Structure 1
Amino acid sequence: MQRTGCAVVGGGPAGMMLGLLLARAGVQVTVLEKHGDFLRDFRGDTVHASTIRLIDELGLGEAFRGLPQSRLSNVALPIPGAGLVTVGDFASLKPPYNYIAMMPQWDFLNFLAGEAAREPSFTLLMEHEATSLMFDGGRVTGVRYRTRAGAEGAGTAGELYAGLVVATDGRHSVLRRAAGLQPKEYPVPFDTWWFKLPRHASEKGALAGVVPAFREREAMIALFRDDYYQMGYLGPKGQDERIRSEGVQRFRERVAGLRPDLADRVDSIRSLDDLHWLDVRLDRLRRWYVDGLLCIGDAAHAMSPAGGVGINLAIQDAVAAAATLAPALLRGRVTVKDLAAVQRRRRMPTVVVQTVQRIMHRVVFVPLFEGKRIEAPSVLVFVLRHVPVARRLLPRMIAFGPRPEHAPGFARRPGRTQPREAT
């Protein structure tokens, strides 16, 4: 019989951070990840200042800054009639937390996995896919899983008993569904199609950026990477079948129309198989837990890509969960009251961020995809450009978010590495 103190299902940012923190508390923790590695394209790659500060508090700042990354120093949006308006200039924040790091998520996850592996109570099981929950008298007591092995895909099935199961398995959470937890869904007007375009040698450099482009009924963003642009085409929800039926040449024309400066490389989109469709969702569980099971991150609240805050909100969930639950796990009994305390702490930041995203959807994207002209109120533009309080508070809200968490004392490792000033 396999047994662990805490079974964390899903090796994304929330799952790996929670595993690291609990292991540093001395909790026997096992993370189950269904894939064989972390190498998957088009996952969120922004690491906000709140997470960078957390990494420093864990004593990992120097190692983190040694990973391949670029720095985003401000966020600006093109506003009709006003040009490019800066909504967040991180230079106004105190170093070394005056930027957002942009790095491949697989590098970040490998980094967390490597640090967690230093802890004797940590176990990472790759190619272990959780399939269902186990119950005893109405309490969740563990997970059932299957593995993949061999060239023919032969594998095994197994059971892992745990004092607590934490679902970090994303917006399509298997465990959330198995527990009978139903999220409240909010309307989302768009989906996103991710793809790559090459970046010429003359365009390469350390500069990070997020470049948006708008046209009637469609939009696109470009994220800078070392040798390519990560592109996101935004179109009305439910249009994947139509876009694919129009063929690759029509999609290339859409890209060239939105970004004429990149029209010389659209032939690198070889087929529509190069597009990764994201069915954008915005939802939130009314209750994040049942006895023996807690959902955090996207499993508790799927986020829109608007603002790029999903990863960091999930990591903050993991910190709050570790700080609250580690003592109970070490005592050998996590109660429903303990799980409710995690939701109570993290519900407000989640509601705030999702409310902002819903406003962005209603004000920007609904009119855009209905073919209406987007007009920014002149008062808003004036405030963003000239009111000192707004120019100080907005960057902090973007970089840190509401109620950023600090590393619990048991997880800190002073003296190993120290934060350094940003350059």
Structure 2
Amino acid sequence: MKVKADVCIVGGGPAGLVLALILGRRGVDAVVLEKHGSFLRDFRGDTVHPSTLQLMDELGLGEELAALPHRVVRQLQITYAGGTFRPVDFARLRATHPYVMMLPQWDFLELLATHGEFTLHRNAEVVSVNRSDRRVAGVTAMTPDGTLEVEAPLTVACDGRNSTVRRELGLRSKEYGAPIDILWFRLPREPGDPEGMAGRADEGRLFFGIDRGEYWQMGWVVLKGGDEQIRAAGLPAFRAALAESVPYLADRVAEIRDWDQVQTLTVRMDRLYRWHVPGALLIGDAAHAMSPVGGVGINLAIQDAVAAARVIVAAFERGRAPTQGELASVQRRRSLPTAGTQLIQRAFQRGVLAPALSGRPMRPPLPVRLLDRYPALGAIPARLIGVGLRPEHVA
């Protein structure tokens, strides 16, 4: 089957659907290809930050978003041997939404999908990029019904850090070493547990939990490649370490019955030297894989989408697809917040996470102690995480 569109969007994640939503409202015909049959997948980023909540208001979806099941986080706390510290305080933000909304990503994506004036093809896995006269002219995808070929003067890749479009185009990236990986798993949550986001650093182990209401989404931060050693030690040792480091979960660690319940996130951080070629633009993780530090990946990708939509809509209002120079302007605008955020993440990984995993008894790092001692300073990291270096807005 062959279809035509103004814009072919590869990837039905937050960036792809926000971009399609805006384009459709402005009369640009967009087709979205999502390789999965549904959005229901565990351990996807689902921290919706104040900047994204503001954008949802601007798109007229704020009230419906707030009606979805969610948890609100106003502070980030981390417990060391010397006590509990609260270095980040979103409540001090001068923002319409001075908090982070913890919302299952599949609910967020379904909301976007049901309000968009675009065509969404599920179970459509892109296998190749098509070219005409040295220009990207669309893609070919495999579906349960056979081959689907989308012909479009502009293709936007929003297909994540393992982007097929990125690989097919052979684009080079700057790689940044990430010293950590994360083991993800779930445990039930009880009424007497802490609320929000809570971390615990103890004897070379670093755990953090995301409050989902009925359960905890837990992460065990380990040094790069450390998951193999933990798995080799066996599940009893895993459960014992968790119970020792996070005492309020000790009565529930038996819920982890096999390794299938534990997934490893291999942390990667990179940034493409060039986000565009004639006929194609890459945004979000397809252009710059982010560390999970701060949970900023989704929000940065959505900001990319808003900036890209502004350029794409302006071009089609002139009766044509964006030029190479116009696509380059998206990268120029979004490079500063991307590079700046990655710089902050790398500093946090080196200065806070890596020392906590060294195996030596440690006191909280100086920045953590200062931010806790002078609460007003907590607005600074809250601004960097929750709003970002260059927030975008929908006209």
Q: One fold, TM greater than 0.5?
A: yes
Q: Work out the CA distance in 1 between the residues paired with 2:18 and 2:205.
A: 36
SS in 2 for 1:127: coil
Structure 1: segments with no counterpart, 5+ residues: 149-154, 410-423
2:390 aligns to what?
403
Is 1:131 equivalent to 2:127 in the alignment? yes
Is 1:194 equivalent to 2:184 in the alignment? yes
Q: Work out the CA distance in 2 between the residues paired with 1:247 and 1:80.
A: 26
1:12 aligns to what?
13
1:43 aligns to what?
44
Tell me if structure 1 keeps the 8 A contact 2:204–2:361.
Answer: no
1:358 aligns to what?
346
Partner deviation per Cα, 1:194-250 (whole Å, 9 max, x = no partner): 1110123x348xx85111111233211111112111011111211333333332222
1:91 aligns to what?
91
Paired-residue identity, %: 46
| Range 245-254 or range 181-190, more displaced | 245-254
Q: Equivalent residues in 2 for 1:169-248 (5 A)? A: 169-200=159-190, 202-203=191-192, 208-248=195-235
2:73 aligns to what?
72
| Range 51-60 or range 359-368, more displaced | 359-368
Partner deviation per Cα, 1:129-164 (whole Å, 9 max, x = no partner): 11110011221100010013xxxxxx4122111111
Give the root-mean-square deviation of aligned CA atoms: 1.9
Give TM-score scaled by structure 1 length.
0.88
1:160 aligns to what?
150
Deviation at 1:384, TM superposition (A): 4.9
Counterpart amino acid of 1:76? Q
Q: Work out the CA distance in 2 between the residues paired with 1:375 and 1:303.
A: 28
1:317 aligns to what?
304
2:270 aligns to what?
283
Q: Work out the CA distance in 2 between the residues paired with 1:263 and 1:385.
A: 30
Q: 1:373 to 1:347 in 2, by over 3 A?
A: farther
Of 299, 317, 320, the residue aligned with 1:332 is 320
Q: 1:16 to 1:293 in 2, by over 3 A?
A: same
Q: Work out the CA distance in 1 between the residues paired with 2:273 and 2:110.
A: 32
Q: Work out the CA distance in 1 between the residues paired with 2:372 and 2:254.
A: 39
Q: Work out the CA distance in 2 between the residues paired with 1:320 and 1:208.
A: 35
Q: Equivalent residues in 2 for 1:244-259 (5 A)? A: 244-259=231-246
Partner deviation per Cα, 1:349-380 (whole Å, 9 max, x = no partner): 00111001100111122223332444446576
Q: Work out the CA distance in 2 between the residues paired with 1:387 and 1:210.
A: 17
Q: Work out the CA distance in 1 between the residues paired with 2:367 and 2:114.
A: 49
Deviation at 1:59, TM superposition (A): 1.4
Q: Work out the CA distance in 2 between the residues paired with 1:280 and 1:95.
A: 31
Give TM-score scaled by structure 2 length.
0.94
SS in 1 for 2:142: strand
1:264 aligns to what?
251
2:333 aligns to what?
345
SS in 2 for 1:142: strand
Q: Work out the CA distance in 2 between the residues paired with 1:161 and 1:186.
A: 35
Counterpart amino acid of 2:67? G
Q: 1:158 to 1:383 in 2, by over 3 A?
A: closer
Q: 1:107 to 1:271 in 2, by over 3 A?
A: same
Structure 2: segments with no counterpart, 5+ residues: none
Moved over 6 A (4+): none
SS in 2 for 1:229: strand
